[in-house]
A and B are shown apart, each in its own frame.
Chain A
């Protein structure tokens, strides 16, 4: 019950606070090559998403640019370094810095990945999978709940794209993911491309994955491109346009549970801003 109350409270906060992120908003990942275009043309866009860690360092330069962007757009935080499923305790200083940054830019919500990123004092700078088992649900949910409470705003968990599954798993990824979100009182940060990538790599039906999602608790949806390696593995590279299959999956998701804010990520071979905006505009067509 306490979780349910928290969910309602955080949900209202996310969609109704001063930043006014529309339920069907379209957003783009804020990347350095686009700054010049943004500051000259201020494109019509619902919001930007930043990689949290890029703005947590001591250098004031990224922060200054972020504040210029924030003057015109809502900005949400997306992390890659929380290490939620790491065996070691969460980094308290990191969480403090993250909370401060979220407050500083009045972020409607914060997201990170349902994965681990480091172990035994070292960091791997990658989003790594684990076996999916019930005892890990409890562990992850308790941590995620604590993070959301500490941040004082909705905290969304993103599903991974993965290239390996483990014999030790006793749950499907979507059951694991849904259970962690449900038990924690947190939210889905649903990456449609990741569902597609994993479905191709592990031979499951991506529609089945979508059916397991409670769309009333989807904070945001991510779209991105990927690359197929010579051995057939699809890798989540974020260096291509969104492929047809992912657009179709997005369309299914929209029919099942839209509206939801939708964000395009492009992290490598980043095209000029107008090209990225054009690609994002495809989402409108896919919704109809």
Chain B
């Protein structure tokens, strides 16, 4: 049976109410009922002192506050680095352009990391009227850390790849495929530590960006049986894993060797072997992909 004809129109009007961005001009978030579809406002029964539009505004606010919660939960580090007031404004902008689809609330934040990259192109992002800014690179790294955590948590179960002897030849011409339960992270600020510290912090105010690290740090974020863990990677190890995702093993090793200074080359074969063995043992890889794909 088809829906009554009026239902789609009614729901389109209601959806327009829900998605009307909240007004921030007064320093608090208020429903801007002026933009609601007049036909729906007329249909909504006034209740006591509240007009129909004020009744609808409950849903408008509820929609956005739920979305603020979902987004801040998905990107907690990014949200705190800019403060929830600013982050919520970005959420309204992002979700107005990319409204949620499908029943899975975990998918609401899909694409936010990329959206941030497009939305802000200047090296410094203004956060308030007093001239406070955040380095774009730091924000994008924070979003990458948040995005990686989400991705690892939401990944389906995958059997770890254990190369068999008969696959030796294929392995030489194939790229390794990183498991969806693993993400590789590079950071110039101690962002993973900061995210960990925020786990029990329900605050919404902006927190300062910690000082830049003397040297970049590299991590593998790995989903274990009961929690998501992180494993420190040596810079060259991280470089090898990045190369292995792009090139077959011999080519990846050759490129790594070429990138190494003379002083590292003697120890490189043993190190590379150890790094590879450990990555296989920890289930970093889920399979191989022919190098032409």
- Residue numbers of A with Cβ under 8 A of B are 53, 56-61, 81-83, 85-88, 91, 94, 116-126, 128, 130-131, 133, 135-136, 138-139, 142-143, 163-168, 201-203, 229, 231-233, 235
What 14 additional pairs, Cβ within 8 angstroms, besides A81-B103, A232-B48? A56-B103, A57-B154, A81-B104, A85-B7, A119-B15, A122-B100, A122-B101, A123-B103, A124-B63, A124-B100, A125-B63, A133-B4, A142-B1, A201-B47
Report whether B58 and A124 are in contact in the complex, using a CB–CB cutoff of 8 Å.
no
**Residue from B3, B45, B50, B105 within 8 A of A233 (CB atoms):** B50
In whole angstroms, what is the CA distance A26 to B66 when docked? 29
Q: A87-B7, A122-B100, A235-B58 are in contact. Are A166 and B12 (CB under 8 A)?
A: no
23 A-B pairs with CB atoms under 8 Å apart are: A57-B104, A59-B154, A60-B156, A81-B104, A83-B103, A85-B7, A86-B3, A87-B8, A118-B103, A124-B18, A125-B66, A125-B105, A128-B11, A136-B7, A139-B7, A164-B47, A166-B45, A167-B45, A202-B47, A231-B49, A233-B50, A233-B58, A235-B58
Taking a contact as CB atoms under 8 Å apart, the answer to whether B42 and A87 are in contact is no
Asked if B135 is at the interface (CB within 8 A of a chain A CB), the reply is no
Task: Tell me, rounded to whole Å, the shortest Cβ–Cβ distance linking B134 to chain A.
Answer: 29
Whether B55 is near chain A, meaning CB under 8 Å from some CB there, is yes
Mask of B36-47 contacts with A, CB within 8 angstroms, 1/0: 000000111101
Secondary structure at the B interface, as helix, strand, loop or mixed, is: helix
* Chain B residues near A (Cβ < 8 Å): 1-4, 7-8, 10-12, 14-15, 18, 42-45, 47-50, 52, 54-56, 58-59, 62-63, 66-67, 70, 99-106, 108, 153-157, 223
CB-nearest residue of chain A to B7:
A87
Interface centre among A123, A130, A203 (most CB of B within 10 A): A123
Asked if A120 and B11 make an inter-chain contact with CB atoms under 8 angstroms apart, the answer reads yes
**Is the pair B156, A167 in contact by a Cβ cutoff of 8 Å?**
no
With A163-B58, A164-B55, A167-B45 given, is the CB distance from A57 to B8 under 8 Å? no
User: 10 closest Cβ contacts across the A-B interface?
Assistant: A81-B103, A58-B156, A119-B11, A164-B55, A87-B8, A163-B58, A60-B157, A87-B3, A87-B7, A122-B99
For A135, list chain B residues within 8 Å (CB).
4
B58 touches A120 (CB 8 A): no
- A to B contact number (C-beta, < 8 Å): 131
Does A163 contact B42, Cβ atoms closer than 8 Å?
A: no
- Name the residue among A87, A168, A202 with the largest chain B CB count within 10 angstroms: A87
User: Which residue in chain A gives the minimum CB-CB distance to B42?
Assistant: A167
Interface centre among B7, B49, B99, B101 (most CB of A within 10 A): B7
Q: Residues of A contacting B101 with CB < 8 Å?
A: 121-123
Cβ–Cβ contact A139 & B4, under 8 A: yes
Q: Are A57 and B62 touching (Cβ within 8 A)?
A: no
Contact B54 A231, beta carbon cutoff 8 Å = yes
In angstroms, Cα B7 to Cα A235, docked, is 25
| CB neighbours of B8 from chain A (8 A) | 87-88, 119-120
Complex contacts, A122 vs chain B, CB 8 Å: 15, 99-101
CB-CB < 8 A to A168: which residues of B? 43
Q: How far is the CB of B266 from chain A (nearest CB, A)?
A: 43
Q: Which residues of B contact A91 (CB under 8 A)?
A: 102-103
Q: Are A165 and B11 within 8 A (Cβ)?
A: no
| Residues in chain B near residue A142, CB distance under 8 A | 1
Q: Are B4 and A136 in contact (CB under 8 A)?
A: yes
